[in-house]
Amino acid sequence: MESGAYGASLAGGTFDFVSFVKRPQTVVRFLCWIFSIVVFATITAEGYINSSKQEDAMCMFNNDDQACSYGVAVGVLTFLGCVVFMILDAHFPQISNAKERKYIVTGDVIFSGACAFLWFICFCVLANQWSNTTETFGIAVDAARAVVAFSFFSILSAAFLTSFAYGRYRQGVSDFDQGYSDPANDHNTPYPPTYPPYPSSGPEGYQQSPFTNSQERPGEYQPPTF
């Protein structure tokens, strides 16, 4: 977890490819990206078959075209979103504006949570339609099972991304709320005031000027001696 997730403490950093690749969030996001490719690419390439009863190609999941279309749509959406947020994660240390950093972290939480929810629906729909599929002639059974399996893996990866993003959001809130205090309003500051205290009028606070001549009296002029 990064300290100062969207505060100014990490602003001005440089991009380190090795450390970026080794981050757990980057690894999980890359896996989520791969899973989404497997789902929508497999459905696009092998998900539609020519049934013996119909001339048009139908979805291999119980001839439900909506199930295939939904799987492709969620896969493409996750694919594009992972690319965008991987780019943002790479440039995140160089962003100095705290509001922009907050928007990125908040957007990551919303996107990852939405992906987890959409993939859960996708898995339920595809698994249900595949269990109701009776005619498997001409269907690439392994491909259908792979789509269902990787839909489930996408749920897990999106859930982990949501957890990482939410943890970074909470850390950013904590640092943003506690990391700054106005010195002018802080009465517990250890630094003394910049101006000297005004001497009190009492005997204890009074100090006689070192340049005062004890022989001079007010209103009396003394010519200089040569």
Query: Does any domain span residue 140?
Result: yes
Instruction: Give the single-character DSSP code of 203.
Output: T
Name the average pLDDT for the chain.
Answer: 80
Mean pLDDT for the stretch of residues 165-170: 90
When pLDDT is cut at 50, 70 and 90, the band that residue 36 belongs to is very high
Specify whether the CB–CB gap between 49 and 138 falls below 8 A: yes
Structure tokens at 188: 């517990």
Q: Which of 88-102, 120-134, 163-177 has the highest mean pLDDT?
A: 120-134
Mean pLDDT for the stretch of residues 27-45: 96
b/e string for 52-62 if b means 16 or more Cβ within 10 A? Answer: eeeeeebbbbb
Give phi and psi for 132, each to the nearest 5: -95, 0
Mean pLDDT for the stretch of residues 42-51: 88
pLDDT tops 90 at residue 1: no
b/e string for 180-215 if b means 16 or more Cβ within 10 A? Answer: eeeeeeeeeeeeeeeeeeeeeeeeeeeeeeeeeeee
Distance CA 26, CA 32 (A): 10
Query: Does any domain span residue 218?
Result: no
Task: Tell me what pLDDT residue 49 has.
Answer: 86
Query: Does any domain span residue 27?
Result: no
Task: Tell me what pLDDT residue 3 has.
Answer: 46
Task: Tell me what pLDDT residue 184 has.
Answer: 43
Distance CA 49, CA 79 (A): 25
Task: Tell me what pLDDT residue 196 has.
Answer: 52
Task: Tell me what pLDDT residue 171 has.
Answer: 82
Task: Tell me what pLDDT residue 16 has.
Answer: 76
pTM of the entire structure? 0.72
Task: Tell me what pLDDT residue 181 has.
Answer: 44
Query: Does any domain span residue 166?
Result: yes
Structure tokens at 12: 């001005």
Mean pLDDT for the stretch of residues 158-179: 80
Mean pLDDT for the stretch of residues 186-215: 52
Query: Does any domain span residue 105?
Result: yes
Query: Does any domain span residue 226?
Result: no
Query: Does any domain span residue 64?
Result: no
Total structural domains in the chain?
1
Q: Which residue has the higher pLDDT, 56 or 29?
A: 29
Query: Does any domain span residue 194?
Result: no
* AA letter at 68: C
3-state secondary structure of 221: coil
Which burial class, exposed, middle or buried, applies to 151 when counting CB atoms under 10 A from its CB (0-12, 13-18, 19+)?
A: buried
Range of the domain at 126: 32-47+72-176
Distance CA 189, CA 176 (A): 20
